Structure 1
């Protein structure tokens, strides 16, 4: 006896054997039991989800000797005859090869003849969307007024191609992709019946690769069984399907996370030698990242060997989704894949995440430090807590000075200065280039007719910018073509954010010229600065202060 494929051997013959279509099954069973079934149905949905199988089960249940009933008995002569396929009242038509008007006219002629064995003639037209427009027109009248003993079931994967006039005369059921767990459950059941030696990882790989189609899953199981010729493993499944194994994807992701481009490309080249499809590889990587993300969200333990933070997963998914779109329109697929992998290790989005995580880490450390202070690990006396900060030098900037600039702001002047700000980083006069670079690093926040306010992140740069020799060069740069500014002041970013918040709050309270209380702005002259004037380049002074005079060496 010739071998019968698994998907044919284990095609469901009763409603109880159907996987993944509970709502449709329940609705049809209730209609059959209460004799409220329609004369025409449309079963639409992805391939391998049970459309034709359920159509045959409906036909058998309608004609069962014990009807009306929810489930065909499977024991009467009609049930057994339908299972064997030798009941002439169940007519299956493949519209892909019988799609012309002549075939439908022939159907119309035969419809008027009563069933020869059962109570109903059931016409199952598979891939009905393949019918020509003329064939649909010929079918229309029959669907509208069929004999009482005739039921039509139209199955399709592309319901949008069926004319609205046909759809309006049918009850429509939309089949969904079968859940992963349902496919795995069925494979396990079949493996037990067939005494197959297959591990859980292989079952998961088959179910995942099938993408919701039970027939695809059983066909892949059949192929893998022939290939393995023994125990079926996950690697066997991926060799047959052309996909990437979970172990390979984990190794690949770990190399990407560790930023090892050379080894990453070598690993990809190995699988490409095996003839793997690049688009399929990209899809497998996306699915794997989705599973890793779900694993992290649900605190699972399926991907413990992949140490990756969630922001990187989103960034990788964006890069791979973009790659998927690019692959549709290029013949250089391998090059695009390699570029995408390098982008996953060295791209502005990845660098941004690196920076954000570093900031987040610093914030956690600050929070920890604050908790330690609150818990008394850094004990200060009450007298020390009451003492106000008494700097040793003169304040380089005051709150009043900042507020005066804000109250007398000139938006046009600020916009004019901002328009040329990006050019400062490429300033071409050698003796002013260093100062122009420092100026470019600052944020221009406000400007009056003659004075501007700059904000810097670190105190050393801020103090360097407030030195008289630096100011002279800044004014020389800004006033090169016309006099725009006569002076400026500098504030550190944390202090600026507080001042800005309080200033806006007063503006929102209808105070046209806000006044803020003085506070420590952390920029003061040191004793050395009060008595010594450094004639060196401001950038040299900055470097000496930052790294130490014994480290910095100036060469002409």
Structure 2
């Protein structure tokens, strides 16, 4: 019989053989035992993580002659027939090569027929995201309400390309990338069963290069076995995977640490000469410094080291390289990796990165020599002594010097805005209803001509009294009043705008609302005393009512008790 690849020979035949997907297999096993099988499933995840294998195992488990069972027996006629592919009721449909609606309709036309050899018809549609929109539409209704004897299992690596109407009709299971430890454990079982001699470190190298895919790992292992003579060594694994040896990484790290650009570029030339992949190389270098950082900060977590094997040289290097320098080097390597993804000349970026890494310590060194630290500490002590002496001399001089003459502050001690009460009273004496109405009727038009910043100051302000030459502007908040009255440009702009609209130039007198009430009451009381409003008092009319009638007209004043 012709040779079969390892991933085909060792394809999982039971749920327990599906590595690293316990969250999926446990759920499916419980559903099988409880006989709660759904009519449609969606298996999504990266390549080589067991989606199609799990689909075939599920097809065998639901049709096993001993069902309900958590695992297919793989011995009955149904299990053997599904494994061999001789039972037509279990159909594997490749959507990548049959994406048209005609092929999908041909499959769906046979759904309504009962199975001939087993209990359930199972349709496994692989790479379902490759179906056309018409094919998805043809599948939609059948997928929602298929006959009781039909189960659909959809598998895909790109679930985002599947219409949401399809996804909502399926039970979705997301397959994860398999950890390197799980892959190594599975490969150890395979090499022990096949009798292949293989170094454990070589298996770890292959598992890391597989990037979470068991099929990729077994394909690389197959290549390494074919490449090796009698024993799969680390060098064989490095050659097959394109990775870089740990000794080569040490050589580059020493070149970076010693700022030897020539040695770094020579090492890169040697690397490329041996056909190593630049993308794989920079990933190895990033993981090397990642392991260096983790070991330096948490030396007890040896199992967290992903790229290197712990030895004396690695421990010595971890002691000599500062943590801050490792941060900078990882950051520079990451930037270079991003740039290399979009270029046809990765070698240039690698050479530039090596030059920068060799110079990074001189540019970003934050460790001062012991002599420099001593000088800095001496300067700090001297500055502290000088400061202490200045404070002492300042206190003595203040005690010996005669008391300075108390000078009047340039500003009054009164807090808040102080309105011009005298000018306001003068306006109130000469205020007329026509003048205030003239200003109020043009107030909105005047505000529309102002800048936004000036108009904003008038949001909660209104004219309350006016004479022929000035008007009183009441502000709700004192801070707004002060901001407006201190802004000469604002005052001039408002006065000019009113002059254009009314033909008269009015002086603005600002006053906060709370002060305006007291000023007005004081003016009315004083005016009443001067004018001798005894008659009004005898007749029972209050002074402020009389003054209001004089200001606004008796016909506009309504007295409410």
The equivalent of 1:325 in structure 2 is 338
Contact 2:21 2:175 in 1 (8 A): yes
The equivalent of 1:92 in structure 2 is 92
Find the aligned partners of 1:23 and 1:275 in 2 and give their Cα distance: 40
Q: Within the alignment, does 1:304 sit opposite 2:315 as a pair?
A: yes
- 1:310 is displaced (CA, Å) by 2.5
Find the aligned partners of 1:359 and 1:326 in 2 and give their Cα distance: 39
The equivalent of 1:173 in structure 2 is 173
Q: Any residues of structure 2 matched to 1:50-129 within 5 Å, and which?
A: 50-129=50-129
Q: Any residues of structure 2 matched to 1:46-445 within 5 Å, and which?
A: 46-300=46-300, 302=310, 303-307=314-318, 308-347=321-360, 350-351=361-362, 354-356=365-367, 358=369, 398-399=390-391
Structure 2 residues without counterparts, runs of 5 or longer: 303-309, 378-384, 398-561
Distance verdict in 2 for CA 1:402–1:230, change over 3 Å: farther
Deviating more after overlay: 231-240 vs 37-46:
231-240
Find the aligned partners of 1:305 and 1:48 in 2 and give their Cα distance: 39
Decide which structure has the larger Cα Rg and report it.
2
Contact 1:44 1:156 in 2 (8 A): yes
Q: Which digits, 9 at most, give the CA deviation of each residue in 1:467-490, with x for residues without a partner?
A: xxxxxxxxxxxxxxxxxxxxxxxx
Distance verdict in 2 for CA 1:296–1:355, change over 3 Å: closer
Find the aligned partners of 2:393 and 2:244 in 1 and give their Cα distance: 65
Deviating more after overlay: 144-153 vs 82-91:
82-91
Q: Which digits, 9 at most, give the CA deviation of each residue in 1:510-534, with x for residues without a partner?
A: xxxxxxxxxxxxxxxxxxxxxxxxx
Structure 1 residues without counterparts, runs of 5 or longer: 367-390, 405-556
The equivalent of 2:464 in structure 1 is none
- 1:289 is displaced (CA, Å) by 2.0
Distance verdict in 2 for CA 1:83–1:63, change over 3 Å: same
Contact 1:311 1:353 in 2 (8 A): no
Q: Which digits, 9 at most, give the CA deviation of each residue in 1:310-342, with x for residues without a partner?
A: 222211110011101211233332121111112
The equivalent of 2:483 in structure 1 is none
- 1:219 is displaced (CA, Å) by 0.2
Find the aligned partners of 1:325 and 1:129 in 2 and give their Cα distance: 28
Q: Provide the secondary structure at the position in 1 that maps to 2:198.
A: coil
Find the aligned partners of 1:146 and 1:401 in 2 and give their Cα distance: 97
- 1:359 is displaced (CA, Å) by 7.8
Find the aligned partners of 2:229 and 2:372 in 1 and give their Cα distance: 53
Find the aligned partners of 1:34 and 1:280 in 2 and give their Cα distance: 47
Q: CA RMSD in A?
A: 2.8
Find the aligned partners of 2:98 and 2:169 in 1 and give their Cα distance: 22
- 1:268 is displaced (CA, Å) by 1.0
Q: Provide the secondary structure at the position in 1 that maps to 2:172.
A: strand
Find the aligned partners of 2:158 and 2:368 in 1 and give their Cα distance: 47
Contact 1:202 1:232 in 2 (8 A): yes
- 1:127 is displaced (CA, Å) by 0.6
Distance verdict in 2 for CA 1:181–1:358, change over 3 Å: farther
Find the aligned partners of 1:119 and 1:324 in 2 and give their Cα distance: 53
Find the aligned partners of 2:266 and 2:68 in 1 and give their Cα distance: 65
The equivalent of 2:440 in structure 1 is none
- 1:9 is displaced (CA, Å) by 0.4
- 1:221 is displaced (CA, Å) by 0.3
Contact 2:33 2:68 in 1 (8 A): yes
Q: Provide the secondary structure at the position in 2 that maps to 1:72.
A: coil
Deviating more after overlay: 206-215 vs 320-329:
320-329
Contact 2:255 2:358 in 1 (8 A): no
Q: Which digits, 9 at most, give the CA deviation of each residue in 1:347-368, with x for residues without a partner?
A: 3xx34653246589959x99xx
Q: Provide the secondary structure at the position in 2 that maps to 1:122.
A: strand
Q: Which digits, 9 at most, give the CA deviation of each residue in 1:350-395, with x for residues without a partner?
A: 34653246589959x99xxxxxxxxxxxxxxxxxxxxxxxx9xx99
Contact 2:62 2:120 in 1 (8 A): yes
Q: Provide the secondary structure at the position in 1 that maps to 2:231.
A: coil
The equivalent of 1:9 in structure 2 is 9
Find the aligned partners of 1:186 and 1:269 in 2 and give their Cα distance: 37
Contact 1:93 1:125 in 2 (8 A): yes
Contact 1:197 1:232 in 2 (8 A): yes
Distance verdict in 2 for CA 1:89–1:358, change over 3 Å: farther
Q: How many residues matched? A: 377
- 1:212 is displaced (CA, Å) by 0.5
Find the aligned partners of 2:295 and 2:117 in 1 and give their Cα distance: 56
Distance verdict in 2 for CA 1:143–1:361, change over 3 Å: farther
Find the aligned partners of 1:81 and 1:35 in 2 and give their Cα distance: 22
The equivalent of 1:25 in structure 2 is 25
- 1:72 is displaced (CA, Å) by 1.0
Distance verdict in 2 for CA 1:397–1:14, change over 3 Å: same
Q: Provide the secondary structure at the position in 2 that maps to 1:344.
A: helix
User: TM-score, structure 2 length as denominator?
Assistant: 0.63
- 1:237 is displaced (CA, Å) by 1.4
User: TM-score, structure 1 length as denominator?
Assistant: 0.64
Q: Provide the secondary structure at the position in 2 that maps to 1:37.
A: coil
